[in-house]
Amino acid sequence: MDALLIPFLDATIRTATPLAYAALGEVVTERSGVINIGLEGIIIAGCLGGLIAAGAGGPTVGFLGGALAGLLMAALFALFVLRLKADAIITGTALTLLGLGLTGTVYRGVFGLEGAALGTPSIAPIALPGLSSLPLVGPVFFTQTVMTYLLYLLVPLLAWWLARTHTGLALRAIGESRTAAHAAGIAVDRIRWGAILFGGVMGGLCGATLVLGQVGTFTEGMSAGRGFIAIAIVVLGRWRVVGTALAALLFGGAFALQYLLQAVGWALPYQLFLALPYLLTLVMLAALRGRAEAPAELASHEG
């Protein structure tokens, strides 16, 4: 039993990690009352940024490169939505298309037709001394990459920040009522800039983690809808930090299930397994009707 269960749970955590980064970034953005559906474009930019930077200076530089790529994409989004008052949905869609197209072009320009070498620097799982020898929990939770461990710290920190700092309160207030927040003397646009850029950095880290911690190389369109899945995760997580982290685990599980089902040798077409996370997204969004807990300002798309 363990022979199947442990690899399944391990794969769940591993695939959930990049999803959680993107989704937590989107939680912060959406709590400020802006929906960035350009997350897909940010993630793919983070993938390529991570690959190029890692090639130049190793994995750590790679993650910085991924974060920077995401930041720049998000800055573009914020510029259009906050400064130029463009529609957030249209801008987000454009950002996704731009990210997918631009990364393909840059990739071919940099690496030529043969593509990147498979020897991309990557990060290996680290077994935490002591904790990793716990039965079941050890190999699943404490034999992961450093990005997963950072997430263990980030989730409580982010939850605390939103609930227990004035800036966190201001951010939530803007998402509920921009006018009321403005009347309280809060610099609405400055905080929204911050929230969108944070979302960009997290989306970029998601991409870099995909490349450096999971796949080991870059392929065009490798984000494969994770940006949209992350947005669904935020809805499933009810716009809360801990809820979103748990929802990311569920979707990680859906990705991991395809490995498990293939391993036990179900004679189903593999395309069906591949479609599983996306089907789950649709089912979850349909099941969670009503947006009672959504930040009220999300309903009005004027950024």
Partner 1 sequence: MSTEPVGVDPRDQEALALEGITVRFGSVTALEGAHCTIRRGTVHAILGENGAGKSTLMRAAFGWLTPDAGTIRVHGAPVRFQSSADAIAQGIGMVHQHFMLIPAMTVTENIALGGQGRFDASTTAARIAEVARKTGLPVDPTARVRDLAISAQQRVEIIKALVREAQILILDEPTAVLTPDQATELLRWVRSFADAGGTVALITHKLREAFTVADYITVLRQGRTVVSAARLALSESHVIEALTGTGTGTGVTPASVEASTVGPTIRIADLATERRMVDHIADAPVLRLDGVSYVDARGVTRLRAVDLAIHPGEILGVIGVEGSGPRELLRILAGRLAPTSGRVTRPDAVGFVPEDRLHDAVIPTFSLTENLALAEGGHARGWMDWSRWWGVTRDLLATADVRAVGPDIPMATLSGGNQQRFVMARERRRATAALIVENPTRGLDLNASARILADLRTFGGNPRPAVVFHSTDLDEVLSVATRVVVCFDGHVAEVQSPLDPNDRTPYTRAMTGSDGAGDVISAERR
Interaction between residue 165 and partner 1 (CB under 8 A): yes
Query: What single-letter amino acid sits at 169?
Result: L
What contacts 287, CB < 8 A, 6 or more positions away?
none
Cβ closer to partner 1: 19 or 181? Answer: 181
For residue 285, the tally of other CB atoms under 10 A from its CB is: 13
Candidate residues 168, 207, 253, 277; the one interacting with partner 1 per rule CB under 8 A: 168
* Choice between 136 and 187, CB closer to partner 1: 187
Q: Exactly one of 119, 135, 153, 166 binds partner 1 (CB under 8 A); which one?
A: 166
The residue among 164 and 289 lying less far from partner 1, judged by its C-beta, is 164
Two tokens at 253? 């599980």
Give the nearer residue to partner 1 in terms of CB position, either 2 or 302. 302
Nearer to partner 1 among residue 132 and residue 182 (C-beta): 182
Q: How far is CA 5 from CA 1, 11, 256, 260, in A?
A: 6, 10, 11, 9
Say whether residue 164 binds partner 1 (CB under 8 A): yes
Enter the tokens of residue 291.
Answer: 């947006």
Site string for partner 1, 170-199 (x = CB under 8 A): x-xx--xx-xxxxxxxxx------------
- How far is Cα 212 from Cα 60, in angstroms, rounded to an integer? 10
Say how far apart CA 74 and CA 57 lie, in whole Å: 24
Give phi and psi for 35, each to the nearest 5.
Answer: -100, 125
17 in Cβ contact with 209 (< 8 Å): yes
Least Cβ distance, residue 170 to partner 1 (angstroms): 7
Interface region with partner 1, contact rule CB under 8 A, candidates 165-173, 206-214, 241-249, 257-265: 165-173
Give min distance, CB of 202 to partner 1, in A: 23
State the number of binding residues for partner 1 (CB under 8 A). 21
CB of 157 to partner 1, least distance (A): 14
- Using CB under 8 A as the binding rule, whether residue 157 contacts partner 1 is answered as no
Least Å from the CB of residue 165 to partner 1? 5
Q: DSSP code of 301?
A: -
- The least distance separating partner 1 from the CB of residue 162, rounded to whole angstroms, comes to 10
* Contact map string, positions 268 to 297, toward partner 1, x by CB under 8 A: ----------------------------x-
The verdict on 238 binding partner 1 (CB under 8 A) reads no
Q: Taking the alpha carbons of 220, 225, 230, 233 in that order, is the dihedral positive or negative?
A: negative
151-182 burial string, b = 16+ CB within 10 Å, else e?
A: beebbeebbeebeeeeebebbbbbbeebeebe
Q: Which is nearer to partner 1, 137 or 187 (CB)?
A: 187
Nearest to 50 by CA among 31, 63, 68: 63
Q: Which residues sit at the interface with partner 1, rule CB under 8 A?
A: 163-166, 168-170, 172-173, 176-177, 179-187, 296
